[in-house]
Amino acid sequence: MIRGFLKLAVVEDDKSSKKLFQKAINESTLVAGMIFFQQSNELLEYIDGPQNHVPDIIFLKLDPMVKNFLKDLRQVRKQHQLRNTLIVIYSSGASEQLIEDTFVYGANVYMDKPHTYEKFREVVEKILKINFQYLESNLNIENFIYRT
Amino acid sequence: MISMHLTYDAQKVYMKVLEECLKASSIEYELNGWSEVKLKGQPALSEIRTFKNKLREAGIYVIENSRHELIQRTKDTISEMILHQEDLKSPKLSTYLTEKLNYSYTYLSKIFSEHTHYSIEHFVILKKIDYAKKLLLESRLSLTQISYKLGYSSVGHLSKQFKKTTGMTPTAFYNIIQKRNRTL
């Protein structure tokens, strides 16, 4: 089945980063809608809510300062409703060990957040296109790992 | 009461309704014959949806299934080709698809990328690496044996394509999945 568009959820608390996402996503023809959350637990509440909305892709900011980041990530990954949802972790500077850990704890994609808008838009679009193939074709989501 | 008997030119009615629907939307278009409409520029999905709904109200339907079915058949044929790569004597992707699907490769490429936002060539690489991952995790084959099975010219070629597609080496991928299986 060809869906033709993607539903995104972005967990981000910084205003300028939100704007960056909004601008890049507005330029993409692949996306149908996007919703922001301040924290991952808000996302989980939303998914558990009566409307039962499930995003196709979750963009989750990796904040090394957040003590339980990996635990939170694992909680998101283990949600039954999100078994076919792809998780993209992004950060502008994380250690190699932490990046590896995000994959171990269930991330599908790690995006090294570019510093310029053009590059950011380009990388996001590339990620959306690859994720779209995984969502639309008979490819193994469980083993889908991609590092930009 | 006055009774009137009517007759109509179905094609003329259809063309008039179609043109009215097109004019009512802000999409720029071009008619190719009487059953194909080319939408110019890049209209938003919502605009296209509104346009399709308007047509539906008038009893005109956009035929989508045949193209979607062709894309699915293309994907299935690619999977089949990858699975039997070993038995095929250096098959050329374009020849293989043309022979199996009876369409020119140019046409298939165009339809495929329009609907999937991905080229056939890139999809084949994604599918091959997906299969390589499966073999790496589930079979006892070495990377060299996997590269042979998937028709790569060398293990180096497979490693290079694996790294480009996933962002990591086959060994790093293997280790992560092993750790993940113990963690999740």
The CA–CA distances, whole Å, from B164 to A18, A111, A113, B167 equal 29, 14, 18, 6
Average pLDDT score over chain B: 88
B79/A147 touch (CB, cutoff 8 Å), yes or no: no
Q: pLDDT band at A3, cuts 50/70/90?
A: very low
The CA–CA distances, whole Å, from B101 to B41, B58, B69, B73, B104 equal 30, 34, 11, 8, 9
Q: pLDDT band at B59, cuts 50/70/90?
A: confident
To test the contact with chain A by mutation, choose from B122, B134, B168, B169 the residue with the greatest count of A C-beta atoms within 10 A, namely: B168
Query: What architecture (CATH level 2) is domain B123-183?
Result: Orthogonal Bundle (1.10)
pLDDT tens-digit profile of B4-48? 888 888 888 888 888 888 888 767 888 877 777 888 866 665 567
pLDDT tens-digit profile of A58-93? 999 998 788 889 999 999 999 988 888 999 999 988
Nearest neighbour of B180 by CB, restricted to A32, A104, A110? A104
B71/A2 touch (CB, cutoff 8 Å), yes or no: yes
To test the contact with chain B by mutation, choose from A137, A142, A148 the residue with the greatest count of B C-beta atoms within 10 A, namely: A137
**Lowest mean pLDDT across A113-122, A138-147, B42-51, B157-166:** B42-51
The domain ranges of chain B are: 10-62, 66-119, 123-183
Q: pLDDT band at A4, cuts 50/70/90?
A: very low
Nearest neighbour of A30 by CB, restricted to B79, B117, B184? B117
Structure confidence at residue B23 (pLDDT): 82
- Chain B residues touching residue A78 (CB < 8 angstroms): 184
- Chain A residues touching residue B179 (CB < 8 angstroms): 104
Q: pLDDT band at A1, cuts 50/70/90?
A: very low
| ipTM of predicted complex | 0.91
- Chain A residues touching residue B167 (CB < 8 angstroms): 110, 145-148
Q: What is the CA radius of gyration of chain B?
A: 25
Among A19-33, A118-132, B61-75, which range has the highest average pLDDT?
A: A118-132
- Chain A residues touching residue B168 (CB < 8 angstroms): 145, 147
- Chain A residues touching residue B79 (CB < 8 angstroms): 138
Q: pLDDT band at B90, cuts 50/70/90?
A: low
User: What's the rounded Cα separation, in Å, for the pair B35 and B19?
Assistant: 12
B167/A139 touch (CB, cutoff 8 Å), yes or no: no
B118/A133 touch (CB, cutoff 8 Å), yes or no: yes
Query: Do the Cβ atoms of B130 and B107 come closer than 8 Å?
Result: no
Q: Is B66 on the interface with A (CB under 8 A)?
A: no
Q: How far is B91 from chain A (nearest CA, A)?
A: 22
- Chain A residues touching residue B166 (CB < 8 angstroms): 145-147
**Lowest mean pLDDT across A66-75, A115-124, B43-52, B170-179:** B43-52
Q: Domains of chain A by range and CATH?
A: 6-147 (3.40.50.2300)
What residue type is assigned to position B78 of the chain?
Answer: I
* Closest-CA residue to A102 (of A69, A124, A75, A78): A69
Residue A52 has pLDDT above 80, yes or no: no
Q: Which residue of A has its CA nearest to B174?
A: A143
The CA–CA distances, whole Å, from B65 to A1, A145, B58, B62, B138 equal 10, 32, 20, 9, 36
Where does residue A129 rank: exposed (0-12), middle (13-18), buried (19+ CB within 10 A)?
A: middle
* Closest-CA residue to B130 (of B91, B73, B78, B179): B78
Q: How far is B14 from chain A (nearest CA, A)?
A: 28
